Amino acid sequence: GISSTMMRLRVIEGPASRPRLASCRPSSSPRPGRRLHSPTPSSSSPKTPPSCRVRASAGAEASTRTLGASGLTVSTVGLGTIGWGDESYGFNSRYRAVDLRETFEAAVEGGITFFDTAEVYGYKQHEYQSSSEHLLGDFAGEASEPVIIGSKVFTIPWTNLIVKGTSPRLGSEALVDALKKSVERVGRPVDLWSIHFPFPTFKNSVLMDALKEASDLGLTTAVGVSNFSKDQMIEASEICSRLGIKLSANQVKFSLLDRSNEKNGLLSAAEALDVAVVAYSPLAGGKLTSSGAAKNPKDDKLAELLKLMEFVGVVNGGKSISQVALNWLVRKGALPIPSARSAEQAREHAGAMGWSLDDNEMSLLEEKLEYLGW
């Protein structure tokens, strides 16, 4: 519990207004009239690793960063919209479009500017113009501040049978055609377009050709991939370079409970390539939240980790467990995209920005993970 945790750490005075935790070991270091304009990068900006590319306002931790090599400025925490328009998640039963609008508005008010979607999110609502892309496009078109929208394309050949396309997806042209439909749904070109995952029927070169064509046609500002392994990402980046475009992001599963993409070298490789790591499932399906222990009563290891995270949140001014989990990812240089379907959830996620875990706290958490075998 917290009492046993206290036996393994001491509280020392830091330069900030809150105490710092000292680790037991050394720390480690378009619809007409509705188009939005993305932030324009400065050509003179120095190149720095994703984890360092932030802009802090005076007296506060940075809440923005650059999205890999794209030059786009985004919030350090984004928002995932996988359940928007999807009845299997509770759309039109537990929550409706009006609730998602409030979710979006709360996120923007909280400083979140990056929103992740995909052509298949809520695809059954395409014909009713209530899929994730439709909803996000509608909300963004009326937003008080410009936002960055990233979408993804499915690579499975028979996807068109699901999303009411005309023929099987074979070749880069079919993927670009799918993006054109995404652009229609969003109401403007997207800011980031990514390959949802690699698939055997598409060689990496074909997928990158699609990214190149999409860029040339002005359908997207930046390009990326998702669920690519380290080696696949490196190959994709090399192909993009030969084509004269830059791979800007790789969306992968990453959280305190799933560090495989850090341990296998993907995170460090992405940093070297100037590819932003966009982290989905950052809260491990709800395990890394205040209700995580109650929903997993037999998981003693999880309970022990959550108690430490709760304590770390307390010494950071009363931050929640989920905010600690998201801030840990930000400190790792990743861009977490937790999902939200209520304004309360959006505000909670936004609260992971504007402050930062210190090196000692990062070490404590990783020390605990290693002790628990994660």
Which residues are tagged catalytic? 121
Q: Which of these, 226, 233, 237, 240, lies nearest to 265 by C-alpha position?
A: 233
CB 131 within 8 A of CB 121: yes
The C-alpha atoms of residue 64 and residue 52 are separated, in whole angstroms, by 11
* Nearest CA among 139, 137, 138, 149 for reference residue 113: 149
CA angle 338, 365, 269 (to 5 degrees): 65
3-state secondary structure of 188: coil
H or E element at residue 249: strand 247-253
Cα 153 to Cα 55, 183, 335: the distances in Å are: 31, 12, 20
What is the C-alpha separation between 50 and 123, in angstroms, rounded? Answer: 32
- 210: nearest Cα among 194, 231, 233: 194
